[in-house]
Amino acid sequence: MKNKTFADKTFADKTIAYLTKGTLGFSIISIFLGFIIGAIILAIAGFNPIQAYGVMISGVISRPSYIAWTIIGSTPIIITALSIAFAFKTGLFNIGAEGQFIIGGITAAIVGYFVELPSFLHIPLVLLAAMTAAGLWGGIAGFLKAKFGVHEVISTIMLNWIALYLNNYIVLIEGFRRATSQRTHEIQRTANIVILEQWKRSPEGREWLRGHDFFGDALRTPLNWGFVIAIILAIIVWYTLNKTTLGYELKAVGYNRHAAEYGGINVSRSMFTSMVISGALAGAAGGLHVMGISKSIASLAAMEGFGFNGIAVALIGGNSSLGIIFSGLLFSALQYGGSKIQPALGAPSEVIHIMIGAIVFFIAMPKLIKYILHNIKKKRGAKNAG
């Protein structure tokens, strides 16, 4: 049957085969389609799409500081996407990256503020503490799934809310809260990972930066080491999943838990381990966010969306480490570039949101398109066989 379909391969079949082969082709087509839809909506709303895209693109790449902001914005969502992709590859859908991000942030704020150590110890300590706490937080969902069969989607959604309210509770504790505000005290300088933070605020630093356009512009942003750590984490995730026994076991459970169990893999332990690692990754994102951008945590009215955006980023990146780095950058560029259309053209922000939504929607389409194409193929196959 298979050979027969293969034999009368037409142009359409070839196209389908090419498109279904990898997610890369799909992603590029989807991004292209998304931009077209965005353009149509902009045109309907009475704005010149080419001009709008011009503003967006130049708003992202035309100055070193714009590129820096894009990188800064991509850092947390790349890491939460890694967290989600890791769980996904091992058969778990970790909606809880949002909550684990919050737990990582809380821990980083506490360890960053109350502990006093030299930088080279303080930074790793804060990061490790954030990862450990969030890993355990994710582990709760893993434990519940392994022990009692509680679906991780349900438990992690609930844990998200618990994390949110825990955050709001901790922010208000006297001694940690900054007086008359809804924020905590800033973390110690030794836990700060902003590049040259001290120097660029000093008179000499400012003087030097004024004379050097490129660095002066780039460093006026809170550019930090988080992106480098994100890339290191991406490599670790790729290595763990593809080159280690642990990764093999976790993936085997993801593909088919019964087969994995038959093969002698401890399924319960694998699920727990997978959620712990996934949680630790999301926690790293939260910790780095506190160390590099916010410096403190604030009382939250609602989820900030780092974890949820991570789901979209993981989807766009096809759950691969390399793909996620690029899709994270793209997502961040869309958000950042999109925010520049309003001041420049007067386009209401709603148009920007619709546009970003359309792009994300199309980017999410490959799975759907693939599914449809797959079904067409299957039907044809069945007919030919009949």
Partner 1 sequence: MFKKMLALMLVLLLMATALVGCGGGAAQDPAPEEDQEQVEDQPTEEQIKMAMVTDVGGVNDQSFNESAWNGHKQAEAELGFSVSYVESEQDADYERNLETLLDAGNDLIWGIGFMMTDAILEAAEFNPDQKYAIIDPDFGENVVPENLVGVLFKAEEGSFLVGYIAGKMTETNKVGFVGGMDFPVIHGFHYGFMAGVKHANPDAEVLVQYADSFVDAARGKAIANQMYQQGADIVFHAAGGAGDGVIEAAREQDKYAIGVDEDQNHLAPDHVITSAMKRVDNAIFMVAEMLKDGDYAGGETKVFGLADGGVGIAPTSDKHVPAEILEEVKQVEQEIIAGKIVVPNNKDDYEANY
Nearer to partner 1, 40 or 196 (CB): 40
Nearer to partner 1, 145 or 340 (CB): 340
Q: Which amino acid is at 132?
A: T
CB of 119 to partner 1, least distance (A): 22
Q: Which of 210, 198, 193, 226 is nearest to 306 (CA)?
A: 226
CB of 137 to partner 1, least distance (A): 21
* CA triple 346-350-353, angle to 5 deg: 115
Which residues pair with residue 183 across a beta bridge?
A: 298
Nearer to partner 1, 63 or 257 (CB): 63
Nearer to partner 1, 30 or 321 (CB): 30
CB of 257 to partner 1, least distance (A): 36
CB of 9 to partner 1, least distance (A): 12
CB of 165 to partner 1, least distance (A): 8
Nearer to partner 1, 210 or 258 (CB): 210
CB of 114 to partner 1, least distance (A): 21
Nearer to partner 1, 42 or 271 (CB): 42
Nearer to partner 1, 87 or 311 (CB): 311
Q: How many CA atoms lie within 13 A of 276 on its CB side?
A: 12
Tokens of 338: 């999109």
CB of 50 to partner 1, least distance (A): 5
CB of 351 to partner 1, least distance (A): 12
State the residues that interact with partner 1 by CB under 8 A: 12, 33, 36-37, 39-40, 42-44, 47-51, 59, 63, 65, 69, 72-73, 165, 168, 172, 179-182, 220-222, 289, 293-294, 298-302, 304-306, 335-336, 339-340, 342-344, 346, 349, 376, 380
- The crossing angle, in degrees rounded to 10, of helices 226-243 and 321-338 is 150
SS3 assignment for the chain: CHHHHHHCCCHHHHHHHHHHHCHHHHHHHHHHHHHHHHHHHHHHCCCCHHHHHHHHHHHHHCCHHHHHHHHHHHHHHHHHHHHHHHHHHCCCCCCCHHHHHHHHHHHHHHHHHHCCCCHHHHHHHHHHHHHHHHHHHHHHHHHHHHHHCCCHHHHHHHHHHHHHHHHHHHHCCCCCECCCCCEECCCCHHHCCECCHHHHHCHHHHHHHHHCHHHHHHCCCCCECHHHHHHHHHHHHHHHHHHCHHHHHHHHHHHCHHHHHHCCCCHHHHHHHHHHHHHHHHHHHHHHHHHHHHCCCECCCCCCCHHHHHHHHHHHCCCCHHHHHHHHHHHHHHHHHHCCHHHHHCCCHHHHHHHHHHHHHHHHCHHHHHHHHHHHHHHHHHHHHC
Nearer to partner 1, 12 or 61 (CB): 12
Q: Which amino acid is at 133?
A: A
CB of 36 to partner 1, least distance (A): 5
CB of 198 to partner 1, least distance (A): 15
Nearer to partner 1, 266 or 342 (CB): 342
| Cβ(311)–Cβ(86) below 8 Å | no
Nearer to partner 1, 139 or 337 (CB): 337
